[in-house]
Amino acid sequence: MTVPGKVKRRVEELRREIEYHNYRYYVLDQPVISDAEYDSLMAELQRLEQRYPELVTPESPTQRIGAPPSEAFAPVRHDVPMLSLDNAFTEQDIHDFERRIKERLGVGTIDYSTEPKLDGLAVTIVYEEGHLVRAATRGDGYTGEDVTANVRTIRSIPLRLQGSGWPDRFEARGEVFMPIEGFRQLNEWAERHGEKTFANPRNAAAGSLRQLDPKVTARRPLDFFCYGFGIFPEERLPPTHHEMLDQFLSWGIPVAPERSLVQGADGCLSYYRDMLNRREDLPYETDGVVYKVDRFDWQHQLGYTARAPRWAIAHKFPAHEATTVVEDIEVQVGRTGILTPVAKLRPVQVGGVTVSSASLHNFEEMKRKDVRIGDTVVIRRAGDVIPEVVQVIVEKRPDDARAIEPPKRCPVCASEVVADPGGTLIRCSGGLFCPAQLKASIKHFASRRAMDIDGLGEKLIDQLLEKGLIKDIADLYNLDADQLASLERMGPKSAQNLIEALEKSKHTTLARFLYALGIREVGEVTAQILADHFRSLDKLKAAGEEELEQIPSIGPIVAKHIVAFFRQPHNLEVIRRLLEAGIHWETPEDTSKARPLEGKTFVFTGTLSSMSRDEAKEKLESLGGKVTGSVSRKTDFVVAGKDPGSKFDKARKLGVNILDEEQFLDLLQQNSSS
Ligand code: IVH
C-alpha cells in the first residue's frame, strides 16, 4: 500500500510537535499543553503508524517503549577518554585548588561554571547529523558498554535535536540518574510485588540502565543532565563551558537548571553553601557540587593528570550514609499496636548528626535485609526522615551474629501478637490494656495537630501513668494543679500552665477531636472529611459501614474501623467523659451548600461582556469551582464569551459542556442563592 503524501506530512508534523512538547515538558519543565492534549497527539501518531507500519522509524516518539532484549552489551571504545574528578572536602581544599590554577595560568580572577554533582552514572551520547546514534556507559573510562537501546527510552533525551547549528558529529556527556520521587515509587511498587528494592537512587539508575531488556528500562523513571562533551570539533566550540551548556540546551539536550557562573573560590564556596541548603529540596540526589574553570582556552592550558582534569574539582557534601554496628535490636510498640524492630547502633556521625538508632520498618523487611545483632550495616539519613538500615555488609558478619524472630507475645504487655490481614505487619492485641499503646495514644491525643495540649510531653505522660494519676485520656481533665506540682521536674508554675493548656484544649473542632481519638486509619484528612460530612458526632456514631462507604475517599477498610471503634463500650464511655469534662466545638459549616461547584473545572475562552475574567474566576472559586487554562476530557464546562478561540473547537471535539455567557450567569446565580 502506498502511503499518501498527506499522511507522511502529518506523521512528520506530529513527531516534530511531540518532540517539541517533550522538550518543553522534560527538559525545560515548562509544558505549554495539557497532558490530555499531549496524549491525543500521541494517540493520533500511533493510529497512523499502525495503519501505515512502513512509516515507523526507530526515532518516532512512539518507539520509546524499548527495543527487543539483547544478549549482552557490546563494548564501545571512547575516542576521548571519560575521566574522573578529583574530590575536595573542605574550604581549604578549594582555596588550594584555586591557588594551583592561578599559579599555572598566571592570571588574577577566574570564573567558574558550577553545577550539582549528580549521583547516577556517566553516559556519553553520540549525535550524527542531529540524530542520536549511540550511547555508552563510562566503563573503565576507555571502554564502556553500548546502552543505546536503553538510553533511547529516556524521555528527556532527544532522539533528534532541536534548533540548528550542531556539528555533523559530536558527543554529549552527562549523568543518567533517577529522580527521588520516581525512585520512591519504583521501590514502593517493587515492595508490593515482592520484587527486589534498590538501596538508593544511584543503584536504581545503574540497575535500570544496565537492563538487557530495554522495555524494562523504558518503565523506569530515568532522567539525564548533560555536563560536558567528548568529541566536538574544536573550531565549533564556544569560548566557555557555560555557553557550551547553553548551546546544548538550545538543541534540546537537558542540563541541570541549578547550574551557575561564579567568580573565584569565594563564589564557589557560596554556591556550595547555597546548594547544601537546598539539597533536601532538590528532586534528585546530589553528593556535592562541581566547579569548572569556565574558559576553554584556560582549561586547555591546564590540561589533565592521569585520571582527572586539572581545571575541575568535585566539592563533596557530607555523606548521607555511614557504616556502623548493630548492637541490639529492640521491638517498639506503636499507638495502634504495630510492633516495629529498631536497630540500636554504635553511635555514628551521618550528615552532621549523631545517629544511634535506625528503623527496620517491619519484621518482613528486617528478614529480607537479613539484619542481625552484631552486623555491620550501612545506614542512611536523608532530610528529616528517621534513619534507616540500607544494607548489611555480609562479609563483616561475626560468627556470633544473632537474628531475632518476630515475638509471639507483646514485649510490653505480653498479650498475644497477631498478623495483620495484609501480612506484613504484626500487632499487639492488647489495645489500651497495653501500657505502650496507651502511652502512645495519650501522646497522640495531646499532640499539636490533635488536641494541642502544650507541655504534656512523653516524660510527663510516663509519670502520670506510673503514679496512677491517669488511666486514659479522659482522666487528663480531672488532674488538679496540686497533683501535677508534686511530680518530678514540675513546679507550681508549670503545673498551672498545664492546667491552663488543658482548659484551652477543651475548645476544639470536631475534626481535631476525631483525629485525636486515634481511630485506626483515620488521619487528619479523613477526620476532616468525616467532620464536614456528618457535622455532628452523634450522626457519625450512628453511621453504618454502607453509609460511610458512600462518602468519596472512604473505603471499606476505613469504614470498618470507624464502625468498630464506635461499637466499643469502652470508647463510648471515654468519649462521654471527655464531653462531660467540657470538650466542645462549633458545628462545622455546611460546606456542601457553601461550595456547590466543588470539584468542577471551568475553562474560559473569548470575552465576557458582563464581567472580567478575573471577576468570573473569583466568583467560581468562591463557590468551590476551579479554573484552568486548557481544555481536556476532565474539563466540566467551557465558558465561551465573544470571539472564542481554539479552546472552543477543542471542547466541541471532546464533547465538553459549553456554556454561553447567559447560561454561565444563570449557573452562578442558581448556585449562589441556594
Ligand atoms: S565532569 C572530565 N560534572 O562524577 C570531567 N561530572 O567523580 C568529567 N558527575 O564520572 C566529569 N555530576 O559521572 C562532571 N556536573 C558534573 C557531574 C559529574 C556528576 C560524575 C561523573 C563523573 C564522576 C566523577
pLDDT tens readout for residues 259-297? 999 999 999 999 999 999 998 889 999 989 999 999 999
Q: How far is it, in rounded angstroms, from Cα 92 to Cα 111?
A: 18
Return the biggest CA–CA distance within the chain.
96
pLDDT for 189 beyond 50: yes
> What's the pLDDT at 464?
93
Which helix (H) or strand (E) is 44 found in, with range?
A: helix 35-51
Q: What is d(CA 499, CA 492) in angstroms, rounded to the nearest whole number?
A: 11
Q: Which region, left, alpha or beta, applies to residue 86 given φ > 0 means left and ψ of -120 to 50 means alpha?
A: beta
**Quick check: CB of 85 below 6 Å from ligand 1?**
yes
Q: Is the pLDDT of residue 149 over 90?
A: yes
- Whether residue 356 is predicted with pLDDT greater than 80 in this model: the reply is yes
**Any idea how long the chain is?**
674
More confidently predicted of 564 and 591? 564
Average pLDDT over residues 228-249: 96
Q: Which of 6, 8, 117, 653 is catalytic?
A: 117
Q: Does any ligand 1 atom lie closer than 6 A to the CB of residue 115?
A: yes
The reply to whether 435-505 shares the fold of 5-55 is no
> Which of the following CATH numbers is that of domain 322-396: 1.10.150.120, 2.60.120.10, 3.40.50.300, 2.40.50.140?
2.40.50.140
Could you tell me what percentage of the chain is helix, strand and coil, using 3-state DSSP and rounding each to the nearest 5?
A: 40, 20, 35
Rounded to whole angstroms, the Cα distance separating 533 from 592 reads 8
- β-pairing verdict for 637-640 and 657-660: parallel
CATH code of the domain made up of 435-505: 1.10.150.20
Strands 353-359 and 339-350: antiparallel
* Cα dist from 74 to 5, 101, 152, 666, whole Å: 39, 39, 16, 68
Distance from the alpha carbon of residue 206 to the mean position of ligand 1, in angstroms = 15
Across the chain, mean pLDDT equals 90
**pLDDT range class, residue 623, cuts 50, 70, 90:** confident
For residue 510, what pLDDT band results from cuts at 50, 70 and 90?
A: very high
Is pLDDT of 465 > 90? Answer: yes
pLDDT score of 153: 94
More confident residue, 564 or 196: 564
**Domain range summary for the chain, segments of one domain joined by +:** 5-55, 87-316, 322-396, 435-505, 510-585, 601-672
Domain boundaries 601-672, corresponding CATH code:
3.40.50.10190
- The span from the CA of 81 to the CA of 138, in Å, is 9
Is residue 356 in contact with ligand 1, taking CB distance under 6 Å?
no
State the distance from the centre of ligand 1 to the C-alpha of 107, rounded, in angstroms: 26
Burial class of 168 by CB neighbour count within 10 A (0 to 12, 13 to 18, 19+):
exposed
Instruction: Label residue 385 by pLDDT band (50, 70, 90).
Output: low
Report the pLDDT value the prediction gives residue 228, as an integer from 0 to 100. Answer: 97
For residue 203, what is its C-alpha cell? 543503584
Query: Nearest-CA neighbor of 252 among 161, 337, 164?
Result: 161
Please indicate whether residue 641 or residue 111 has the higher confidence score (pLDDT). Answer: 111
605-616: buried (b, 16+ CB within 10 Å) or exposed (e) per residue?
bbebeebeeeeb
- Residue with the bigger pLDDT between 590 and 233: it is 233
How does 566-598 read in b/e, with b if 16+ C-beta sit within 10 Å?
Answer: beeeebeebbebbeeeebeeeebeeeeeebbbe
Q: What are the residues whose beta carbons fall under 8 Å from the beta carbon of 500, sequence distance 6 or more?
A: none
Kindly state if the Cβ of 287 falls inside 6 Å of ligand 1.
no
- Distances 625 to 35, 478, 619 between C-alpha atoms, Å: 21, 46, 9
For the 87-316 domain, the top CATH level (class) is alpha beta
Which pLDDT belongs to residue 399? 95
Note the pTM of the prediction, 2 decimals.
0.58
DSSP class of 85 = -
Helix/strand/coil for 467: coil
pLDDT in tens, 606-616: 888 888 888 88
Residue the block writes with cell 534528585: 284
pLDDT at 31 over 80: no
Domain covering 510-585, topology: DNA polymerase; domain 1 (1.10.150)
Phi, psi of 566 (to 5 degrees): -80, 0
What distance in angstroms lies between residue 7's CA and the mean position of ligand 1's atoms? Answer: 44
Please report how many Cα atoms fall inside a 13 Å half-sphere around the Cα of residue 237, on the Cβ side: 20
111 neighbors 295 (Cβ within 8 angstroms)? yes
Q: Does the beta carbon of 381 lie inside 6 Å of ligand 1?
A: no
CA 628, CA 314: separation in Å to the nearest integer?
A: 44
- What distance in angstroms lies between residue 129's CA and the mean position of ligand 1's atoms? 26
Q: At what angle do helices 556-567 and 569-580 cross, to 10 degrees?
A: 70
Please give the distance, rounded to the nearest whole angstrom, from the Cα atom of residue 117 to the centre of ligand 1.
7
Assess whether the C-beta atom of 83 lies below 6 angstroms from ligand 1: yes
pLDDT of res. 421: 79
Percentage of the chain exceeding pLDDT 70: 97
d(CA 501, CA 634): 47
pLDDT-wise least confident of 72-81, 379-388, 433-442, 539-548? 379-388
Q: Is the pLDDT of residue 498 over 80?
A: yes
Nearest-CA residue for atom 13 of ligand 1: 122
pLDDT at 674: 45
Q: Is the pLDDT of residue 138 over 60?
A: yes
Q: Report which protein residue has its CA nearest ligand 1's atom 14.
A: 227
Instruction: Give the residue-averaged pLDDT of 507-517.
Output: 95
d(CA 121, ligand 1 centre) in Å = 9
CATH number of 5-55: 1.10.287.610
Q: Which three cell numbers stand for residue 215?
A: 522495555
Choose the residue to mutate in 290, 304, 307 for probing ligand 1, maximizing ligand atoms within 8 Å of C-beta: 290
In ligand 1, the atom with minimum distance to the C-alpha of 314 is 7
C-alpha cell at 119: 549521583
pLDDT of 383: 57
Helix or strand holding residue 215 (H, E): helix 214-218
How many CA atoms lie within 13 Å of 416's alpha carbon, on the beta-carbon side?
A: 3
Calpha distance 389→345 (Å, rounded) = 10
Query: In the predicted model, what is the mean pLDDT of residues 129-133?
Result: 95
pLDDT surpasses 90 at 582: yes
122 Cβ below 6 A of ligand 1: yes
How far, CA to CA in Å, does 422 sit from each of 151, 193, 335, 533, 557? 38, 13, 18, 29, 12
CA angle 447, 453, 459 (to 5 degrees): 75
Is 626 one of the catalytic residues?
A: no
d(CA 275, CA 279) in angstroms, rounded, equals 6
For residues 465 and 542, give the distance between their C-alpha atoms in angstroms, rounded to a whole number. Answer: 32
Q: CA-CA distance, 513 to 537, in Å (whole number)?
A: 10
pLDDT at site 278? 92
The whole-angstrom separation of Cα 65 and Cα 216 is: 9
Tell me the C-alpha distance between 295 and 207, whole Å: 36
Q: State the cell numbers at 643.
A: 470571539
SS3 of residue 463 by DSSP: helix
Neighbour order of strands in the sheet with 312-316: 87-88, 312-316, 286-293, 111-118, 260-263
